[in-house]
Structure 1
Amino acid sequence: MNPVVGIAAFVAVSLATAAIGFYGLRISRTTGDFYVASRTVPPWWNASAIGGEYLSAASFLGVAGLILLSGTDALWFPVGYTAGYLMLLLFVAAPLRRSGAYTIPDFTESRLDSKAVRRVTSLIVVMVGWLYIVPQLHGAALTIRITTGLPSWVGSVAVVVVVCLTVVAGGMRSITFVQAFQYWLKLTALAVPVIFMLLALAGTGATPLAEPVTNPTGLPPAGMYQNISLLVALLFGTLGLPHVLVRFYTNPDGQSARRTTLIVLGLLSVFYLFPTAYGLAGRLFAPDLAQRGQADALVLLLPGRLIGGTAGELLSALVVAGAFAAFLSTTSGLVVSLAGVISQDVLGGSVRGFRVAALISATVPLAFAFSTDSLALAGSVGLVFAFTASTLCPVLLLGIWWRGLTDAGAIAGMLTGAILCGGAMVAGAILGSAATPFWLAQPAAWSVPAAFAVMVLASRTTSNRVPATISRVMTRLHTPERPLETVRQTAERQLVERLPVERHPTER
């Protein structure tokens, strides 16, 4: 690919992101605008923004690369990513919106009436966010190196700079516009090249460059345990992702939150058709990328291989733009959610505190990205889902649906999940992928049940610590909200009833 084309695509998407972000600055005036867009985002707009931030480097590049490497075993990734939103719809979306909290630590503190729970939750939210940002920066480094020949660090630094500019400028309201735009850019960037590649193959009658490769890496195929553990991580991990959950605070009411989730399910289902198509085409026409360790670059390189010429260059530029949209949108969503937590817990919760926290949230993972090697993108993000499923998911599900949860139980369960899953991740990094036992490589199958069990048992043994406010809190979580128009009409009626009644002189 011509380096100039790659640089032009990157610059174009960065400028578009900055321009939309600065447009959002014009209507970001209050603290509520910065944290939750004043809870006024309609379902379609919010769903597009969720799709923008949820479809990360793992979805845009990693899923196709895993299908190239593993074939049908990798299809569990798009299935799990999408089905996790069904879990979110059924168990979390509306109650969490009704809680009235700005962040996950706000929710756990109000639900369990404990500052200690808030501190532990805040620490884990920050860990999850930073762990999730690092693969986005690795993806940006890979993309800039493959498509432009520039040093890898340029891609990571560029993503952090653009994200800091947009988040610091306008907060959640600004990022909502940006992420909604980036979802549709990502979808277009994958769909249009696929259509042209199909037309080119049909017109030329091209044959595969090689026979379909069943196992290009020589690694053993995933077994039943790995697949089950991966599904547990993706299904339950989605319920605890802080940058996704904070989006449901931006809906006007619980009904809008449920509608948003249904729309997201549709948007994700359509999107994942295209990385799957790239992966299957790559097994036929680009198996050498797997053998050279460049599976994650398949989406970037395949259009140029199959089409070539100026058309191939233009389609590759579109894919590069979509890739950077993925890195920018997910990173910005994570930075917004982390900035909300850090600013409220450490910096007083002001707009200025939010902006300082946003800079901290973006620059710390940049240092981690520089000091670590890039793993397979989808695999590394899958481990982040496992960590989230082992820590934040249990306290959210039990906090919403079980009256018996206590602050001591919540802390014990979250720390258990963090130690077990985090320890497995560290052990896997030390041992390397080839030497890591399968049960350590995919820890969710045992770390998630352990976290739930410890949380329940510790709560049972400390049942005297159930908050006195439990009935009021649970009623608020599970009482359906009235539509906004009904609320306004009721308020107006009550106001009129309180006004003095003036009688006509003839009635006096």
Structure 2
Amino acid sequence: MELNLFAAAAVLLVAVATFSIGFRASRLASTTQDFLVARRRVRSRRNAAAVSGEYLSAASFLGVAGLVLKDGANALWYPIGFTAGYLALLLFVAAPLRRSGAYTLPDFVEARLSSRVLRWFATVFVVFIGILYLVPQLQSAGLTISSILPMPSWFGAVLVAVLVMINVFGGGMRAITLVQAFQYWLKLCAIAVPTFVMCALFFGGGGFHGPGLAQPQSPRFTADTTVTVRTPVLLTVQEPVHLSADGTLDGAAAEGPVFWGGGTHKVDAGTTLRFTKDSPVPVVAGAPADNATWLKPVTGSQDVWATYSLMFALFLGTMGLPHVLVRFYTNPDGGAARRTTLHVMLLLSLFYLFPMLLGALSRLYVPELLVTGQTDAAVLLLPGKIASGTLGQVLGAVTAAGAFAAFLSTSSGLLVSVSGVLSTDLLPGRVRDFRVATTIASAVPLALAIVLHPSDVSMSVGLSFALAASTFCPVLVLGIWWRRLTWVGALLGMLTGGGLVLTALVLNVVSRYTGSQPPWFVVQPALVTVPIAFAVVVLGSKATKAKVPPDVNRIRLRMHAPDKLGFIRDRDVARFGTAEERARLADGRHRK
């Protein structure tokens, strides 16, 4: 890969700015409360920017545009679901969760249901969801760095992991709050400015000189194009195409001219394909092969059910993501948590306008990504296709900087949530323990990111949402709004929902090696697993009525009473606070 000096400089600037802001903020962090919940002094607007910066991950910055490029209208449910999930969070969870006084998700389930066993299982799921979400962030970082620097993909993953670990190691939640708020505005500018410039060039230069997206035919190559397939792919050919190949096609060696008729063709890793200008573009199997299908929201009953299941996972999964919920523990009170959620919805809605536009432009200018399936690189490669020379390099550098910021901000939140749980549930909970947990929580996902084969970022993140929706969402919603919930019912629901999603994950991996097409409820399992998890929680709780905590009325009053009544009791103060803070808590004088 040729060195892009502008992009390298932009990524370096983002890294320096991130380290500088984190270092300055970390000097104010000295206690466990600072590392876990930033002393609960983060106001709603700053926290909303931090939540948005953390939430807009690689799946948002790279994956959404890549999915629009590949799947078309059917991919628009991702940005809609990512944003709409905060509506459910606003209505059912945000304020009561903050008023509960918890400082981690496992701490909430113990405070509500008085069970150390349930807290331990919640810890396991928090760690697993965090790792499942963190691995694609590091893999995407490798993709970005390798696209602008002559470096292997693992280098970018290591760079992001080390930089994030340093920031979290130094100041925990207090340090990354300012970093994430800064990174949201950086990401917004990094995707909005290039989009405006590229749209101006697209319309001002007379538009695209070739078949548009409204044409029902297959997309066309805009110039003579050489594609090197790095991983085995199965391609769908809609229209006959002449090409030149060097490698292995359909199980046989190929060298020289090749003719592909309609149907599917297997291409082995290491094969080079050469296409001429205006040739139809073969696409990876499962993606729409022509623009007419690409413009339709759904095609077939399988896609309809998979879409409903995806919407279900995104809408309810947000409520169960530990790295999202941990940010609401930092608000001063329940009202601030609710205002934070409302502001987040506005900030996300603004951001997601731009990846959708870039995805549509990518189908015109970088259709070669449909051959390899590496559509997550569309945002990085598109500027160089629309704008030539220095302008294209500068725009590419800006998008690369935004993508790098996305990896840093989301990885920081994930690392804080996992480290907080490890340090308080498996270790004594001191600042030193938090730093030890940070080191462990950084090393394991990094090793997995290097070893495992990367897949579409949004697809792997989608399974994280399904897992969160099937485990923590039922426990949170019923724990806040249903008096008769028991820890036995909650545990059975978490194990059932989580086990079903993990089974679907295993079947998905197996299908990649067997070449079979799994059914929709394996690809997108939430529509099945979430109702089952809710049902198991309810039935298990009704069967164990004697396990209802004796102080349930007091806990529910604390969660639902208005903030001004002063019922909030912060459990981090009771466990980690100074003697003076614990005395104030015992006297009922809650810090405002």
Relative distance call for 1:468 and 1:153 in structure 2 (3 A) is: same
**What's the CA shift string for 1:202-240, capped at 9, x where partnerless?**
322132454435794452656110100001110110001
1:337 partnered with 2:404: no
Structure with greater helix share of residues? 1
Residues 25-174 of structure 1 aligned to structure 2 (within 5 Å): 25-174=26-175
Separation of aligned partners in 1, 2:549 and 2:565:
30
Separation of aligned partners in 1, 2:320 and 2:135:
18
Alignment match, 1:317: 397
SS at match of 1:290: helix
1:233 partnered with 2:313: yes
Alignment match, 2:186: 185
Match of 2:526 among 441, 444, 449: 444
Is residue 209–residue 285 contact of structure 1 (8 Å, CA) maintained in 2? no
Separation of aligned partners in 2, 1:293 and 1:3:
23
Amino acid of the residue matched to residue 486 of structure 2?
T
Residues 318-467 of structure 1 aligned to structure 2 (within 5 Å): 318-432=398-512, 435-467=517-549
Alignment match, 1:9: 10
Alignment match, 1:260: 340
TM score, norm. by length of structure 2: 0.80
Amino acid of the residue matched to residue 404 of structure 1?
R
Is residue 7–residue 398 contact of structure 2 (8 Å, CA) maintained in 1? no
TM-superposed CA distance for 1:303, in Å, is: 0.9
Separation of aligned partners in 1, 2:491 and 2:209:
55
TM-superposed CA distance for 1:291, in Å, is: 2.2
Separation of aligned partners in 2, 1:338 and 1:383:
18
TM-superposed CA distance for 1:435, in Å, is: 2.5
Is residue 66–residue 295 contact of structure 1 (8 Å, CA) maintained in 2? yes
For structure 2, the residue ranges without an aligned partner over 5 or more in a row are: 220-237, 239-282, 288-298, 570-583, 585-592
Separation of aligned partners in 2, 1:473 and 1:425:
36
Separation of aligned partners in 1, 2:61 and 2:563:
36
Alignment match, 2:355: 275
Is residue 133–residue 331 contact of structure 1 (8 Å, CA) maintained in 2? yes
Amino acid of the residue matched to residue 63 of structure 1?
V
TM score, norm. by length of structure 1: 0.93
SS at match of 1:237: helix
Amino acid of the residue matched to residue 144 of structure 2?
T
1:481 partnered with 2:548: no
Amino acid of the residue matched to residue 262 of structure 1?
L
TM-superposed CA distance for 1:286, in Å, is: 2.2
Is residue 57–residue 377 contact of structure 1 (8 Å, CA) maintained in 2? yes
Amino acid of the residue matched to residue 197 of structure 2?
F
TM-superposed CA distance for 1:295, in Å, is: 0.9
TM-superposed CA distance for 1:437, in Å, is: 2.2
Separation of aligned partners in 2, 1:263 and 1:400:
23
**What's the CA shift string for 1:250-295, capped at 9, x where partnerless?**
1111111111000000000000000001011112222222223221
Amino acid of the residue matched to residue 400 of structure 1?
I
Is residue 210–residue 285 contact of structure 1 (8 Å, CA) maintained in 2? no
Is residue 284–residue 372 contact of structure 2 (8 Å, CA) maintained in 1? no
Alignment match, 2:330: 250
Is residue 37–residue 173 contact of structure 1 (8 Å, CA) maintained in 2? yes
Alignment match, 1:505: none
Separation of aligned partners in 1, 2:351 and 2:333:
27
Separation of aligned partners in 2, 1:223 and 1:408:
36
Is residue 128–residue 384 contact of structure 1 (8 Å, CA) maintained in 2? yes
Separation of aligned partners in 2, 1:425 and 1:208:
43
Separation of aligned partners in 1, 2:104 and 2:177:
17
Separation of aligned partners in 2, 1:290 and 1:33:
46
Match of 2:377 among 257, 280, 297: 297
Separation of aligned partners in 1, 2:418 and 2:162:
16
1:284 partnered with 2:367: no
Amino acid of the residue matched to residue 187 of structure 1?
L
Amino acid of the residue matched to residue 176 of structure 1?
T
SS at match of 1:205: coil
Separation of aligned partners in 2, 1:483 and 1:251:
17
CA RMSD of aligned residues (A): 1.8
SS at match of 1:399: helix
Separation of aligned partners in 1, 2:372 and 2:533:
39
Separation of aligned partners in 1, 2:390 and 2:125:
48
SS at match of 1:53: helix
Separation of aligned partners in 1, 2:436 and 2:305:
43
SS at match of 2:80: helix
Separation of aligned partners in 2, 1:281 and 1:483:
54
Amino acid of the residue matched to residue 304 of structure 2?
M
Relative distance call for 1:10 and 1:356 in structure 2 (3 A) is: same
Amino acid of the residue matched to residue 374 of structure 2?
Q
Amino acid of the residue matched to residue 338 of structure 1?
V
TM-superposed CA distance for 1:75, in Å, is: 0.2
Amino acid of the residue matched to residue 470 of structure 2?
S
Is residue 253–residue 483 contact of structure 1 (8 Å, CA) maintained in 2? no
Separation of aligned partners in 1, 2:447 and 2:315:
30
Greater CA drift, 212-221 or 297-306? 212-221
Separation of aligned partners in 2, 1:250 and 1:190:
28
Amino acid of the residue matched to residue 183 of structure 2?
Q
SS at match of 1:62: helix
Separation of aligned partners in 1, 2:210 and 2:321:
41
Residues 213-232 of structure 1 aligned to structure 2 (within 5 Å): 213=218, 216-219=283-286, 221=299, 223-232=303-312
SS at match of 2:207: coil
For structure 1, the residue ranges without an aligned partner over 5 or more in a row are: 488-494, 496-508
Separation of aligned partners in 2, 1:243 and 1:382:
15
Alignment match, 1:201: 202
TM-superposed CA distance for 1:136, in Å, is: 0.1
TM-superposed CA distance for 1:430, in Å, is: 1.4
Amino acid of the residue matched to residue 450 of structure 1?
I
SS at match of 1:223: helix
Separation of aligned partners in 1, 2:559 and 2:530:
24
Amino acid of the residue matched to residue 432 of structure 2?
R
Is residue 239–residue 389 contact of structure 1 (8 Å, CA) maintained in 2? yes
TM-superposed CA distance for 1:3, in Å, is: 2.9
1:468 partnered with 2:468: no
Amino acid of the residue matched to residue 359 of structure 2?
G
Separation of aligned partners in 1, 2:43 and 2:565:
13
Amino acid of the residue matched to residue 302 of structure 1?
L
TM-superposed CA distance for 1:338, in Å, is: 0.7
What percentage of aligned pairs have identical amino acids? 53
Separation of aligned partners in 2, 1:210 and 1:427:
39
Is residue 4–residue 393 contact of structure 2 (8 Å, CA) maintained in 1? no
Is residue 374–residue 456 contact of structure 2 (8 Å, CA) maintained in 1? no
Relative distance call for 1:209 and 1:295 in structure 2 (3 A) is: farther
